[in-house]
Amino acid sequence: MRAAMAPIMKNMPIPMGEDGELRRGPWTLEEDTLLTHYIARHGEGRWNMLAKCAGLKRTGKSCRLRWLNYLKPDIKRGNLTPQEQLLILELHSKWGNRWSKIAQHLPGRTDNEIKNYWRTRVQKQARLLNIESSSKRFLDAARCFWMPRLLQKLEQTSSSSSSTQSSVPCQLSDCTIPSLPTIPPPANKTTDTTSSSVATTQQSIYPPDFMNISDQTELPQHLTSSNVYSNQTLEQTYYNIDSISTGNEMEGFSFASMSAVDSIEGSWIMSNEMTENLWNMDDIWQFRELGNMGN
């Protein structure tokens, strides 16, 4: 961590040298236009040179970042789809914080975006579970509860069968969970009218070996970029993890279980935040009990 970062003033110029000052901070529309037009004519690369030739008072690095993370035409905007979230979870479990490598499998998404997603959403879940997000325990938890939950949501949108129940076997250290708790459909969500109206029947969208893709293994078909981006309905229906989970997790929650959880681990924190989380109390109980068994 930097000891003392100088406050970045908006568009504050910094000394550049002989021919002017370098700008920093948010990009203006004019700068964006300059950069876009220049790259359209001359292509990317040689960023320092590019910055000068384009008449931008920015560092080459800044130009590159702006282009790659924002201006590039194929940048995909909007919240990550469940498929993309799943893919991130799985790839992160394989590669760790190799954001650019992960981003290569999510066309249109930048490493910066994925990194932000991880830090704001995923690490939040880890915090609430009192687990290091980089630990094996959290990976187990993600695999056992989070991924299936997302997959269930995907299934719900792609199948009209309301009785469909996920039964993804998953491994937590050395114990196996035969099936996952059923997630009730979103309760009375005004924005969620599509999940029950999708009237197609199809087989399970995830293969049995989904949880074990290796470096040599092709990505699951449903998680390939073409599929990820072909399903606009899904994207419109489920914007992000939080919105998926924000529903009636609290319906199964009791203060008795809360105090019990408290008694297991004094540091456990229960807050309103929890109610908006992916992990309902059943999940937490299941995970924690399994974790104890593993110890």
Partner DNA sequence: AACTTCACCAACCGCCTCGTT
Partner DNA sequence: CAACGAGGCGGTTGGTGAAGT
Decide if residue 138 touches DNA (CB under 7 A).
Answer: no
Write down the residue that tokens 């995830």 correspond to: 206
* Closer of 26 and 294 to DNA (Cβ): 26
- The site that binds DNA (CB under 7 A) totals a number of residues, namely 49
Tell me which amino acid residue 157 is.
Answer: T
Give the pair of three-digit tokens for residue 257.
Answer: 């279980």
Decide if residue 7 touches DNA (CB under 7 A).
Answer: yes
Among 242, 250, 253, 257, binds DNA (CB under 7 A): 242
Give the count of beta carbons closer than 10 Å to the beta carbon of residue 156. 24
* Closer of 23 and 105 to DNA (Cβ): 23
Q: Tell how strand 170-172 and strand 20-22 pair up.
A: unpaired
Distances from the Cα of 155 to the Cα of 23, 97, 188, 198, angstroms: 48, 29, 19, 10
Distances from the Cα of 37 to the Cα of 46, 110, 162, angstroms: 16, 21, 51
Decide if residue 111 touches DNA (CB under 7 A).
Answer: yes
* Closer of 198 and 229 to DNA (Cβ): 229
Site for DNA, residues 16 to 45, rule: CB under 7 A = 23-27, 45
Site for DNA, residues 91 to 110, rule: CB under 7 A = 97-101
Evaluate the CA torsion angle 24, 26, 30, 33 in order and state its sign.
Answer: positive
> Nearest-5° angle of CA 278, CA 252, CA 244?
30
Q: What does the alpha-carbon distance between residue 9 and residue 21 come to, in Å, rounded to a whole number?
A: 14
Nearest approach, Cβ of residue 4 and DNA (Å): 8
Among 70, 253, 268, 285, binds DNA (CB under 7 A): 70
Decide if residue 60 touches DNA (CB under 7 A).
Answer: yes
Decide if residue 121 touches DNA (CB under 7 A).
Answer: yes
Nearest approach, Cβ of residue 164 and DNA (Å): 28
Q: Which residues pair with 242 in a beta bridge?
A: none
* Closer of 160 and 253 to DNA (Cβ): 253
Nearest approach, Cβ of residue 262 and DNA (Å): 20
Q: What does the alpha-carbon distance between residue 207 and residue 36 come to, in Å, rounded to a whole number?
A: 42
* Residue 57 and residue 16 in contact, taking contact as beta carbons nearer than 8 Å: yes
Nearest approach, Cβ of residue 202 and DNA (Å): 30
* Residue 36 and residue 43 in contact, taking contact as beta carbons nearer than 8 Å: no
* Closer of 37 and 260 to DNA (Cβ): 37
Interaction site with DNA (CB under 7 A): 1-2, 5, 7-10, 14, 23-27, 45-50, 58-62, 64-66, 69-70, 79, 97-101, 111-113, 115-117, 119-121, 124, 240, 242, 272-273
